Amino acid sequence: MTSAPTTTRAPRLPSLTGLRWIGALLVFGFHAGTMRIIAEPQWQAVMGKVFSLGLSGVEFFFILSGFVLVWSYRDGESGWTFLRRRAAKIYPNHVVTFLAALAVAAWFADPVLPWAAIGNLFLVQAWIPLNGYFYSINNVSWSLSCELAFYLCLPLVVPWLRRARTGVLRAVLVAAPLLILALWPGQHLVPEEQRWWFTQIFPVTRSFEFWMGAAAAELMRRHRWRGPGLTTASLAFVATWVVAALWIRAEFWAALLAVAYLLVITAAADADVRGRRTPWRSRPMLWLGEVSFAFYLVHVLVMVTVLRLTGDWGTGLPGWRGPLAVLGFLLLTLALAAVLHRWVEEPMMRRLGPSRRACGGPAAAAPGPGVPAPRAAVDDTGAVSAGEPDPSIEYAGRRRPD
């Protein structure tokens, strides 16, 4: 039977912070590959093979977000307090990168659609199925639009999750990947020009991943989760990645990777709860995970801006210059992300977030007896010219365009 709730807060999950960096790195590698920064065919082929499914890093972020937010949700906290804390996390970085993208657009005299810019600023662009809107301004911010929608729903859904039967939660875990799989025949129900938006951007369809993570977190809180250990889950993920990249059609690998990502996330969380060491909770990995949100927001903007300034956009860099440029972009983006995290994200979270007194209501129910209870769990989360998205870039979502 499930133990009665107590006032003990859920244990921290530092390994999930480290894993955030892996998700951000996958998205970076995918975008660097599709921009064809590397001109040499053999090196470009390696880049493409390794990161061909890197666009699924956003899928990983959505699952991770659902898991962490339900795991650390403070029962009894007002919905307004929760939303204020989440807005303080994502909005300052969004505003800074939004303004930076507008400055880049002005420098290159790129057209800006005013209504698209307004929608992007208020993070509603993912609801607009029009080209030039959902990928507007800082293109990667479409995922924040989805996250904001999830945040608005979560305070309403958590009470149901806490009361739901274990069987119902397990049914959610089974239904979510099946719904992801059903999107590909289901896309024929919408006009052809909106199918990419429907399968990749639409917050309702992207929420399948979020609720999958949320259901798994609630099962783990109750000690009702059954899954492999971290080593087995990691090997299963690598095997799934290789098989999906080489042999599985795009319509199928999104659902497969969703399951593989969930197994790794839950296995890492379980290891943290049990006090076991993992490679993801070292000090360097924790720091990389902390800056991963800022890294994600700036990486495409940095790469495209530099390539356009140097005149190398769309041509690729020959010889050793291509791989060296990718490494340079990685380090430059990481440095800028560190600045954004240190001087914008952290201070604005303290300034704009709810006070400790406002957060001091009833704590989250304990996951069960015998589990250590330090601070609450870590935070979650997951670029070029404004207007129309550049057709030469594939933006991270679930799969490549047809």
Q: Which pair of structure tokens corresponds to residue 188?
A: 């024929």
Task: Indicate the range of 113-122, 137-146, 190-199, 246-255 predicted with least confidence.
Answer: 246-255
With 0-12 / 13-18 / 19 or more C-beta atoms within 10 angstroms meaning exposed / middle / buried, residue 164 is middle
pLDDT score of 31: 95
With 0-12 / 13-18 / 19 or more C-beta atoms within 10 angstroms meaning exposed / middle / buried, residue 359 is middle
Sequence-separated (6 or more) residues with CB below 8 Å from residue 359: 74, 77, 81, 85
pLDDT score of 308: 94
pLDDT in tens, 2-14: 333 333 567 899 9
- Give strand pairing partners of 317: 38
pLDDT in tens, 304-340: 999 999 998 888 898 899 999 999 999 999 999 999 9
d(CA 264, CA 174): 17
Q: How confident is the model at residue 362 (pLDDT cuts 50, 70, 90)?
A: very low
Tell me which of 318 and 291 has the higher pLDDT.
291
What type of residue is 256?
A: L
Q: How confident is the model at residue 395 (pLDDT cuts 50, 70, 90)?
A: very low
Q: Where are the domains of the chain?
A: 14-352
| DSSP code for 366 | P
d(CA 67, CA 71): 6
Q: Do 97 and 301 form a contact (C-beta atoms < 8 A)? A: yes
pLDDT score of 357: 59
pLDDT score of 9: 65
Average pLDDT over residues 30-56: 90
Q: How confident is the model at residue 289 (pLDDT cuts 50, 70, 90)?
A: very high
- The closest of 178, 175, 101 to 141, measured between CA atoms, is 101
pLDDT score of 48: 85
User: Among residues of the chain, what percentage have pLDDT more than 90?
Assistant: 75
Q: How confident is the model at residue 30 (pLDDT cuts 50, 70, 90)?
A: very high
pLDDT score of 125: 97
Q: Which 3 state secondary structure label does DSSP give 282? A: coil
DSSP string, 152-216: HHHHHHHHHHHHS-HHHHHHHHHHHHHHHHHHHHHGGGS-GGGHHHHHHT-HHHHHHHHHHHHHH
Task: Give yes or no for residue 356 having a pLDDT over 50.
Answer: yes
Average pLDDT over residues 362-370: 37
Q: Positive or negative CA dihedral for 196, 201, 202, 208?
A: positive
Q: How confident is the model at residue 49 (pLDDT cuts 50, 70, 90)?
A: confident
How far from chain centre, in Å, is Cα 66? 10
Neighbour tally for 174: CB within 10 Å? 12
Average pLDDT over residues 350-367: 59
Backbone φ and ψ for 317, nearest 5 degrees, come out as: -105, 130
- The closest of 14, 10, 9, 69 to 268, measured between CA atoms, is 14
pLDDT in tens, 112-129: 999 999 999 999 999 999
